[in-house]
């Protein structure tokens, strides 16, 4: 990068095409390069944020998505990543996290802009480091950068950590939870919505509709991953409050999608591998909760990242694939996604 400039290959796109790139950034949080999926995700975020009287989360998401996408343009990141929406997906999560955990001050919003922009080049750097291992950084740039800023908030009065948990050691908790069927379905939907740090069954339903527009199998897998994580959490007696709010399910949703739909072609073998990975994600969530509790910070999507790395790093050819490479989910690399990608590139999307 010799200077800051608009990416040459993307410079001449129409405004509508730029809007599609922007919206795809939201969709890529769940591996979907669909502008319509991204739009449904944003609608779901706004619904959940306003219904819980935290509109700053919705506007933070929009700002984070805009800043990270714009950063990709300005520092001349690879245009293929931009077209797929890969500049924005970490930034939109940063935008959800900052208002969720920190006070609503002008300095928090300035820090949000910096952190969102930072995820773009951090993602590229992490992917460069991981390339020899043939895995991707996923949402870990969001996790790592957000951890830096929310930990720093403990030492900065202008970024009040109003909504961060107090640093403490694990305590006795109740695993009691209402097991009526309607409530169980609500917990599953909230597990999907918590991917964006939103607690709303309506938001979860909107997310599933957005997924179904791009990939019906992805929608089924996301709901199934949330349901399986809920079952494991219930069987092993996790905190009833955390379980009912979807906090043991959201990373499992992403793991199920990654293993069962994206990095392996969906079939019986990949489904079994995804089921095991989803179960392990619940244990990873519990372990990282305990690990980070004394620091007073949330795990974010780290359990998903770590578990998915553990299941992809062996490069197991469970579908008899040749020359496995999990460093990206481009259709040129993951051929079973090619049809889906073609549909997202049509003028209608």
Residue by residue, pLDDT tens for the chain (349 residues) are 444 455 566 777 888 999 999 999 999 999 999 999 999 999 999 999 999 999 999 999 999 999 999 999 999 888 889 899 999 999 999 999 999 999 999 999 999 999 999 999 999 999 999 999 999 999 999 999 999 999 999 999 999 988 888 888 877 677 778 889 999 999 999 999 999 999 999 999 999 999 999 999 999 999 999 999 999 999 999 999 999 999 999 999 999 999 999 999 999 999 999 999 999 999 999 999 999 999 999 999 999 999 999 999 999 988 777 788 998 888 888 878 876 554 455 434 5
User: What token pair was written down for 253?
Assistant: 């949703």
The residue segments making up the domain with residue 192 are: 8-344
CATH number of residue 210's parent domain: 1.10.3430.10
**Residue positions counted in the chain:** 349
Q: State how many domains the chain has.
A: 1
Domain contains 230:
yes
**CA neighbor of 237 nearest in space, from 174, 294, 148:** 174
pTM: 0.92
Q: Is 104 inside a domain boundary?
A: yes
Tell me the CA end-to-end span of the chain in Å, nearest whole number.
Answer: 31
- Beta-bridge partners for 75: 5
Residue 238 lies in a domain: yes
Asked if residue 2 belongs to a domain, the reply is: no
Asked if residue 1 is part of any domain, the answer here is no
Q: Is there a contact between 1 and 76 (Cβ–Cβ < 8 Å)?
A: yes
Residue position matching structure tokens 């900065």: 156
Q: Does the residue 349 lie in any domain?
A: no
Which residues on neighbouring strands pair with residue 5, listed in sequence order?
A: 75
Residue 278 in domain = yes
Residue 3 within any structural domain of the chain: no
């Amino acid at each position: 990068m010799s200077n800051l400039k608009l990416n040459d290959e993307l410079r001449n796109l129409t405004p509508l095409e730029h809007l599609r790139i922007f919206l795809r950034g939201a969709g890529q949080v769940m591996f979907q390069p669909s502008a319509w999926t991204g739009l449904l995700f944003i609608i779901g975020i706004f619904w959940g944020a306003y219904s819980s009287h935290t509109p700053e989360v919705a506007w933070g998401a929009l700002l984070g998505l805009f800043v990270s996408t714009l950063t990709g343009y300005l520092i001349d990141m690879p245009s293929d990543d931009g077209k797929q929406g890969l500049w924005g997906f970490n930034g939109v999560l940063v935008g959800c996290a900052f208002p969720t955990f920190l006070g609503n001050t002008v300095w928090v919003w300035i820090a949000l802009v910096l952190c969102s922009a930072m995820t773009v080049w951090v993602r590229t750097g992490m992917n460069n480091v991981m390339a020899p291992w043939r895995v991707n950084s996923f949402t870990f740039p969001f996790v790592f950068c957000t951890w830096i800023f929310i930990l720093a908030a403990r030492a900065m009065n202008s970024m009040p950590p109003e909504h961060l948990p107090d640093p403490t050691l694990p305590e006795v908790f109740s695993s009691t939870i209402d097991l009526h069927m309607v409530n169980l379905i609500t917990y599953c939907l909230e597990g999907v919505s918590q991917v964006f740090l939103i607690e709303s069954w309506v938001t979860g339903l909107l997310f599933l509709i957005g997924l179904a527009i791009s990939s019906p199998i992805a929608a089924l897998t996301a709901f199934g991953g949330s349901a399986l994580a809920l079952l494991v959490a219930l069987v092993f007696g996790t905190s009833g409050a955390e379980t009912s709010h979807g906090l043991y399910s959201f990373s499992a949703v992403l793991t199920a999608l990654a293993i069962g739909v994206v990095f392996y072609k969906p079939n019986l073998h990949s489904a079994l591998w995804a089921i095991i990975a989803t179960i392990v994600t619940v244990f990873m969530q519990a372990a990282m909760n305990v690990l980070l509790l004394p620091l007073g910070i949330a795990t974010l999507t780290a359990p998903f990242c770590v578990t998915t790395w553990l299941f992809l790093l062996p490069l197991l050819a469970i579908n008899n694939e040749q020359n496995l490479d999990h460093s990206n989910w481009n259709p040129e690399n993951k051929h079973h996604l090619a049809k889906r990608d073609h549909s997202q590139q049509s003028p209608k999307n």
